[in-house]
Structure 1
Amino acid sequence: MDTSPPAGRPAPAPVDLPLSLDRASGVGLARQLAAQLRAAASGGTLEPGQRLPSTRALALALGVGRNVVFEAYEDLLAEGFLIGRDRSGTFVAPDLAVDRAPAPARPAPSRSARWLQRDVPEPQLEHPGPPDLLAFRVGQTDTAALTRGEWRRVWRAVADAPLPGDYADPAGDPELRGAVAAYLKRARGFVCDPDDVIITSGALQGVDLIAQAVLAPGDHVAFEDPGYRLARQIFQERGARITPLPVDNDGLRLDALKGGPDAPLLVYTTPSHQFPLGVRLSIPRRLALLEWAQTHDALIIEDDYDSEFRYGAAPLPSLASLDTAGHVVYLGTFSKVLSPAVRVGYLVAPRPLRERLLRVKSRLDAHTSWPVQRALALMITGGHLERHIRRMRKTYAARRAALSGALSGSRAHARLMGLEAGLHAHLELDPALDAADVSARARALGVLVPTLTPYYLGGADRNGLLLGYGGLDLPQLRRAAGLLARALADAAGHR
């Protein structure tokens, strides 16, 4: 039954207003009720123009006779706090002056409290910057091209399904796990069973699940340098010792991986489109990394965060599809193909590790939101997701081409790299230029562009900028790239 108010009529105030009548106070119940309603209207608990409950409904809620409510309303009508409208009800006067006093401050403990002594580092996020700046933000996607009809149909189907009345499987909705397994087979040539898949609340939760299930404080993690700062921060906060692995144009360098007692327990890599440099891990290095992991009984985390978007380059097989010994955990996400707002990812883990991961996930959040999971399952099984990916490949390819074209005149000062895949590129600068100086000049012109330096754990061995182009439309991208080219020319002219 539709219980919404008629069109144009305000919803009535709830009958469970903070009202309390004291029969032993010596003050009449009607006067008490009038005083409390007057305070609620004056203080903003009842909004100007708000329709009040009927006298019958409020009397039932308070356990008093209807005449008590009627008398209180009459007093407030006479005072101008309320107005009555024929056949519509009783309302707070729409022009009533409201004294919205600020809420009292919550009590604050001493900063020296024992339970406040542990430092909690700031998350290493990309900051959007002022809204008037054009921003080359990494990880931002374009949702405008998502077909709204398909999106609405999927959510209507979810709304028509019965809502589960209990906690769901921590591994995830079986329909979504099956859809993900089938999708990985089609899109990545990676054959896995739906029971190997765990649905997560984003890829970073997958990283944290693995860290909690595998690592003890002091364990050794090898991490690409430069690399994904938030993932690295998770390992650090779980007590891991991080060893940076340098990255060249063929991906992470295996010569930096130690063996013997110093061999890392875990290696984190982004082989399909290295974050942030955008290079791809070569086939010989993929095979060598797998052999190293098997020899040293180590685990590899393969973060395949944006492999759906490739531009003219043949896809390389995932590490997980080449793994024959169960040493790879594969991470995927819907953040890049749809939006980071979806907050759903997945991982595929070897069976013995999977059970440990599920124990951790069960105590963290029980399971990822069921309605969102079911909607994504319908998007995949209905073909909507892959149609959207095909559309966005063309869209992002056009933006990539526009970026490359707009910066073509800057080749004497900078080289655009990492364009084979993904939603961002790396602009390698002439060693004579200072990336921070170029970034500052671009910002002065109205363009926000981050440098590579914060992505390094050790000292930066590259001088460059990071250009996320997924969230800029073509006119914005051309303008931002043109202003960046101007900043490059200005910096080169001041050498």
Structure 2
Amino acid sequence: MDASPPAGRPPPVDLPLSLDRSSRVGLARQLAGQLRAAVSGGQLEPGQRLPSTRALAAALGIGRNIVFEAYEDLLAEGFLTGRDRSGTFVAPDLAVDRVPGAARPAPSSSARWLQRDVPEPQVEHPGPPDLLAFRVGQTDTAALTHGDWRRVWRAVADTPLPGDYADPAGDPDLRGAVAAYLKRARGFVCDPDDVIITSGALQGVDLIAQAVLAPGDQVAFEDPGYRLARQIFQERGARITPLPVDNDGLRLDALPGGRRTPLLVYTTPSHQFPLGVRLSIPRRLALLEWAHAHDALVIEDDYDSEFRYGAAPLPSLASLDTGGHVVYLGTFSKVLSPAVRVGYVVAPRPLRERLLRVKSRSDAHTSWPVQRALALMITQGHLERHIRRMRKTYAARRAALSGALAGCRPQARLMGLEAGLHAHLELDPSLDAAGVSERARALGVIVPTLGAYYLDRADRNGLLIGYGGLDLPDVRRGAQALVQAVMEAAREA
């Protein structure tokens, strides 16, 4: 077994060297030439340690003297340097005339396989570090840097690593833990075999799109809505039917009929993204009745229902469904962090088998160590304790945000506060949301406009305020800047 390199010493590089014994050029010259080219081409960096003469000779199946001769030539030329008892290195101060990345030529933009347009993902960017950002989708991870989080990872590290691919549906322990959690937290009774573990909710959306849709199929989508999910359907060839949202959620009266009857409806009923409203019980029941009558599928994206503030929980669509027309999406991105990259799909049995076939050929299975850690987080009660702690934390930030933005009235009012980690500030029609956003940025605060989340013409004027990733002082400071921006815009309107 090879010994590990001493602490602080970089390991020797493993180069793809190949010597031609039939060539008239000697092996030592060939080896020196290839090493020289590796230095010039950037495969070997200044200061990089090379294999020992004994190790390289054994790897290439040549005599040690040949390697020694090649190294001697490069030492004499100044490409290499030797350190007593430490090995042979690329000269650390070597000035090589090369362009970074030049070793891989760029293909012509006219290449046939580059003709399909791939739009930029519609995501928020953090912005300059000196600006405070009300970013949607951010969580507070400070409570996970010690205690329960560390304990579960130590337990995972003590578990032998499997030597084979795992079940594409996910780790059985995690699927069982998710099913039990949904029963406790959402009143949704499902079997562990109904659960598929994914690499985040967006993978779940994509799996469904691949398993269900044919090019040209109609997908009804909340407008405004979750842009990345909408983009996935569009890239899979679906035709999007935008459905308006009011204070009771998705408007079912806008569902088209005839040839344009949607095959699939995507909704975020527990905390509509991005408006924050909740789909009322009558509309939940009506949506299920519509799906049954038209043999359609409903995707229920329940992305942050764990965080409710004084509002009674409404039953999930999946828990009300008696006909197998709802597929449920959940994620750990909001209860823990987007960095975890684990979500889950609960699907009717016939659809589940199709989803597994698609998943098996896309990524085989979700990361086993992360699944094991999450299973322990749930089964040992850590996750729900964390959720209870974070409800109090986020509720305090929500209250601070609401109190500070009360100073915007009557020019603006805060909406969508019943649940989740974001709200929206609805502006008076006389105010320009983009202008208010620019004023806020000048005051050191980044806040996106609501209009960016619409596919059709925006029927609301406002800003989207994500407060999950900010501490209380920053929430207050950012809210005060927003009040100033709104009031300045109102004076000039």
Whether these two folds match at TM > 0.5 is yes
Quote the sequence identity (%): 88
In 2, are the aligned partners of 1:42 and 1:97 still within 8 Å (CA)?
Answer: no
1:430 positional shift: 1.3
Preserved contact between residue 441 and residue 487 of structure 1 (Cα < 8 Å): yes
- Structure 1's 98 and 294: CA in aligned 2 closer, same or farther, altered over 3 A? same
Whole-angstrom distance in 2 between the partners of 1:340 and 1:212: 23
Residue 126 of structure 1 is matched in structure 2 by 124
1:218 to 216, 219, 234: 216
Post-superposition offset of 1:167: 2.6
- Shifted more, 387-396 versus 329-338: the winner is 387-396
Gap runs ≥5 in structure 1: none
Give a deviation string over 1:179-237, Cα, whole Å, max 9, x none: 11011111111111000111112111211222222222332222211111121222222
Offset at residue 64 of structure 1 (A): 2.3
Partner of 1:458: 456
CA-CA distance at 1:43 after TM superposition: 5.6
Is the contact made by 1:4 and 1:11 (CA closer than 8 Å) also made in structure 2? no
Q: Equivalent of 2:398, from 397, 400, 416?
A: 400
Deviation (angstroms), 1:315: 1.0
- The letter for the 1-side match of 2:281 is I
TM-score (norm 2): 0.92
- Alpha-carbon distance change, 107 to 33 in structure 1, aligned in 2, over 3 angstroms: closer
Corresponding residue for 2:282?
284
* Partner-residue secondary structure (3-state), 1:145: helix
**Residues 457 and 19 of structure 1, relative CA distance in 2, 3 Å threshold:** closer
The answer to whether the aligner puts 1:55 opposite 2:58 as a matched pair is no
**Aligned residue among 149, 152, 160 for 1:151:** 149
Separation (CA, whole Å) in 2 of partners of 1:297 and 1:30: 73
Find out whether 1:265 has 2:263 as its counterpart: yes
Q: Which letter does structure 2 place at the counterpart of 1:284?
A: P
CA deviation string 1:241-267 (max 9, x = no partner): 322222111111222234566532222
Aligned CA distance change for structure 1 residues 2 and 248 (closer, same or farther; 3 Å): farther
Matched residue type, 1:5? P
Counterpart of 1:7, as a letter, is: A
SS in structure 2 opposite 1:247? strand
User: What CA distance in whole angstroms lies between the structure 2 residues aligned with 1:116 and 1:18?
Assistant: 30
**Relative to structure 1, is the Cα distance of residues 296 and 409 closer, same or farther in structure 2, using a 3 angstrom cutoff?**
same
Q: Equivalent residue of 2:299, what SS?
A: strand
Distance 1:21 1:354, change over 3 A: closer
Give, in whole Å, the separation in 2 of the partners of 1:109 and 1:73. 36
Residues 5-44 of structure 1 aligned to structure 2 (within 5 Å): 5-8=5-8, 10-14=9-13, 16-26=14-24, 28-41=26-39, 44=42
Equivalent residue, structure 2, for 1:183:
181
Distance 2:258 2:17 in 1: 72
Separation in 2 of the partners of 1:393 and 1:114?
A: 52
Question: How many aligned positions are there?
Answer: 493
Q: Distance in 2 between matches of 1:26 and 1:218?
A: 63
- State whether structure 2 residue 64 is matched by structure 1 residue 66: yes
Moved more, 36-45 or 483-492: 36-45
Change (3 A) 1:336 1:59: same
* One-letter amino acid matched to 1:150: D
Letter in 2 for 1:334: F
Whole-angstrom CA distance in 1 between matches of 2:349 and 2:423: 36
TM-score (norm 1): 0.92
Mapped partners of 1:235, 1:6: distance in 2: 52
Does the 8 A contact of 1:247 with 1:253 survive in 2? Answer: yes
Query: Structure 2 vs 1, CA of residues 25 and 333 (structure 1 numbering), >3 Å: closer, same or farther?
Result: same
Could you tell me how far 1:462 is from its partner in structure 2? 0.9
**In the TM superposition, what are the counterparts of 1:465-476 in structure 2 within 5 Å?**
465-476=463-474
1:336 to partner: Cα distance: 1.0
Match of 2:44 in 1: 46
Secondary structure of 1:407's aligned partner:
helix
Aligned letter for 1:371? Answer: P
Quote how far apart the aligned CAs of 1:350 are: 1.0
Give the equivalent residue in structure 2 for 1:201: 199
Deviates more, 1:79-88 or 1:431-440: 79-88
RMSD after superposition: 2.4
| CA distance in structure 2 between the partners assigned to 1:57 and 1:112 by the alignment | 46
Deviations 1:269-325 (A, max 9, x none): 111101110011112221222222222322211110000111121111111111122
Q: Shift of residue 19 of structure 1?
A: 3.5
Is 1:185–1:191's contact at 8 Å kept on the other side of the alignment?
A: yes
**Do structure 1's residue 327 and structure 2's residue 328 form an aligned pair?**
no
1:458-494 CA-to-partner distances (Å, cap 9, x unmatched) read 2111111100111222222222111111110110110
Distance change (3 Å), C-alpha of 1:6 and 1:406 = same
Q: Which runs of 5+ in 2 are unaligned?
A: none
Q: Secondary structure at the match of 1:325?
A: coil
Q: Which of the numbers 441, 444, 460 marks the counterpart of 1:443?
A: 441
- Tell me: CA distance 1:352–1:97, structure 2 relative to 1, closer, same or farther (3 Å): same
Partner of 1:413: 411
